[in-house]
Chains A and B, each alone.
Chain A
Amino acid sequence: MIYLDNAASSHPKPLEVLRAVSRQLRENGANPGRSGHRMSADASETVYRTRALLAQEFGTDPETVLFTQNTTDAINRALKGLLQKGDHVVISDLEHNSVLRPLVALREKGIEFDVAQTTENEEETVNNFQQKIKSNTKLIFCTHASNVTGQILPVHAVGALCRRYGILFGVDGAQTAGVESYDLKRDPIDLLCIPGHKGLLGPQGTGALILSRPLDLLPITEGGTGTDSLLEAQPKIFPEGYESGTLNTPGIAGLGEGVRFIRKYREAIRRHEGNLRNLFLSEMETIPQFCILSPVGESVGTVAINHISSHSEELCRFLDQSGFCTRGGYHCSALAHKKLKTEAQGALRISFGYRNTEQDVHECIRILKIYQNNCVRT
């Protein structure tokens, strides 16, 4: 199989990641941060090393790196921990359901939100966000790159707008963590939600909510923290007060190796994935029955396409039968498909990873041509 679904989860992982997960499972199954014995202390050390590495990667302090299960978990913790009755939020029209659905659920608690239209023009996009700001706007939350089309949004400019208005700014880094560089002490970003298992090449079941500084955040899960055990109320201690329950230590061990790998090869990977995307787009020009949904501007290594007359799931099945892992349908992004006017067809998403080759692109194009020819015949 040729794997072209890296926007959903990257595959394969570097060998170092596999070894770290395996080593943790084989050699140290102790619970980190709970007991005082040596194995538990070593497990805590593994967690801390990854935490400190993520802090370095994203330009913040280790204690404001809060481990989560994935980006969705991080976004839920951010939105539900920050927002209170009467607050207003602005989001982009390219948000994933992991942003939209918690906000729809929060409407019941008296929290309202508006959607700002994004365009390929930075100034227009920022103006559209500005138009939606109200006196009670507490937060603007915006994806850094669309999970459907790969389009990169001007988060630094939107963040600067937030600074001017004294509004908190949260970013969904699901498609950009490990690809783009961040420095939360410098960038106008207060909260960043990231997956461990996509661009950072870690295992599934890992992610983080990363804060530029300790914010007034309510923990949405209460329980054991390994500290202040005689207190009945949840201690609001960073980070443990926001990570109740046993952590995914093997996953976190693997994530640490993924981050090390990315920090070593990031530029080469970004260039490689960009080249594959460009090659794919230029080859697509030879298949007129397909349309490209992704904009031409700045993008991560993801392309959304459609055949003019068939549903994306049908095309996805054909590619699967031909040995390709891609994604059809709606990519958990109702807003993006409404914007792209692809509610009837969905979209076929092809997302390149560091292990893909030019040969993979040529082979995929060859299969798409066969599909086109089959459609012509029928």
Chain B
Amino acid sequence: MSTRCLGVRSVTYAQKARDVLTANGVACRILRQNRISGCGWCVALSAASIPKAEALLRENGVKTTGEYYDLS
């Protein structure tokens, strides 16, 4: 199963996303993720759970960057 990393705006948003997702049965973890603007954070989750995760984050007002990264 492939893992993808969803970029979030800060560590607080990463933590909030993690709490929302895990409370709704979506397994994920927080990782550091460097991007063009420098240090950043992402939430790593299975590619299959992305549609459900995106819907949950939207419903709960968790802002993401909308960018996905491959777990390297």
Chain A residues engaging chain B, CB cutoff 8 angstroms: 32-33, 35-36, 41, 44-45, 48, 51-52, 61-63, 225-231, 237-241
Contact B40 A63 (CB under 8 A): no
A36-B31, A36-B32, A41-B30 known; A228+B12 contact, CB < 8 A: no
**Considering the chains assembled together, what is the distance between the CA atoms of A241 and B15 in angstroms?**
16
A17 vs chain B, min Cβ distance (A):
22
Of chain A, the residue at the smallest CB distance from B30 is: A41
**Considering the chains assembled together, what is the distance between the CA atoms of A288 and B61 in angstroms?**
59
Contact A229 B39 (CB under 8 A): yes
Most buried by A among B15, B16, B31, B38: B15
B36 vs chain A, min Cβ distance (A):
7
Of chain B, the residue at the smallest CB distance from A32 is: B11
Most buried by A among B12, B13, B15: B12
Q: Which residues of B contact A240 (CB under 8 A)?
A: 10-12
A52-B19, A61-B61, A62-B16 known; A33+B11 contact, CB < 8 A: yes
Residue B37 lies at the interface, judged by CB distance under 8 Å to chain A: yes
Contact B12 A62 (CB under 8 A): yes
Residue B9 lies at the interface, judged by CB distance under 8 Å to chain A: yes
Contact B13 A63 (CB under 8 A): yes
Q: Which residues of B contact A231 (CB under 8 A)?
A: 37-38
5 tightest A-B contacts by CB?
A229-B38, A230-B38, A36-B32, A228-B37, A48-B15
Q: Which residues of A contact B40 (CB under 8 A)?
A: 227-228
Q: Which residues of A contact B36 (CB under 8 A)?
A: 230
**Considering the chains assembled together, what is the distance between the CA atoms of A229 and B37 in angstroms?**
6
**Considering the chains assembled together, what is the distance between the CA atoms of A260 and B70 in angstroms?**
39
Contact A237 B10 (CB under 8 A): yes
Starting from the known contacts A52-B15, A240-B10, 7 additional A-B residue pairs (CB-CB under 8 Å) come to: A35-B32, A44-B15, A48-B12, A63-B16, A227-B37, A228-B37, A229-B37
A60 vs chain B, min Cβ distance (A):
11
Contact A227 B10 (CB under 8 A): yes
Contact B19 A44 (CB under 8 A): no
**Considering the chains assembled together, what is the distance between the CA atoms of A156 and B38 in angstroms?**
43
- Chain B interface mostly helix, strand, loop or mixed? mixed
Q: Which residues of B contact A63 (CB under 8 A)?
A: 10, 12-13, 16
For this complex, 13 residue pairs linking A to B, each with C-beta atoms less than 8 Å apart, are A44-B11, A48-B11, A52-B16, A63-B13, A63-B16, A226-B10, A226-B11, A227-B41, A229-B39, A230-B38, A237-B10, A240-B10, A240-B12
Chain B 1-35 interface mask (CB, 8 Å, partner A; 1/0):
00000000111110110010000000000111000
Q: Which residues of B contact A35 (CB under 8 A)?
A: 32
**Considering the chains assembled together, what is the distance between the CA atoms of A41 and B15 in angstroms?**
10
A36-B32, A63-B16 known; A230+B11 contact, CB < 8 A: no
Q: Which residues of A contact B10 (CB under 8 A)?
A: 33, 63, 225-227, 237-241
**Considering the chains assembled together, what is the distance between the CA atoms of A32 and B11 in angstroms?**
9
**Considering the chains assembled together, what is the distance between the CA atoms of A228 and B32 in angstroms?**
12
Q: Which residues of A contact B39 (CB under 8 A)?
A: 226-229
Q: Which residues of B contact A45 (CB under 8 A)?
A: 15
**Considering the chains assembled together, what is the distance between the CA atoms of A61 and B15 in angstroms?**
12
**Considering the chains assembled together, what is the distance between the CA atoms of A89 and B59 in angstroms?**
36
Q: Which residues of A contact B37 (CB under 8 A)?
A: 227-231
Q: Which residues of B contact A62 (CB under 8 A)?
A: 12, 15-16
Q: Please tell me which one of the listed residues B9, B19, B30 contacts residue A227 in the complex, with CB atoms under 8 A apart.
A: B9
A320 vs chain B, min Cβ distance (A):
44
Q: Which residues of A contact B61 (CB under 8 A)?
A: 61
**Considering the chains assembled together, what is the distance between the CA atoms of A243 and B33 in angstroms?**
20
A34 vs chain B, min Cβ distance (A):
8
Q: Which residues of B contact A44 (CB under 8 A)?
A: 11, 15
Contact B38 A239 (CB under 8 A): no
A239 vs chain B, min Cβ distance (A):
6
**Considering the chains assembled together, what is the distance between the CA atoms of A324 and B15 in angstroms?**
45
Q: Which residues of B contact A51 (CB under 8 A)?
A: 12
Of chain A, the residue at the smallest CB distance from B19 is: A52
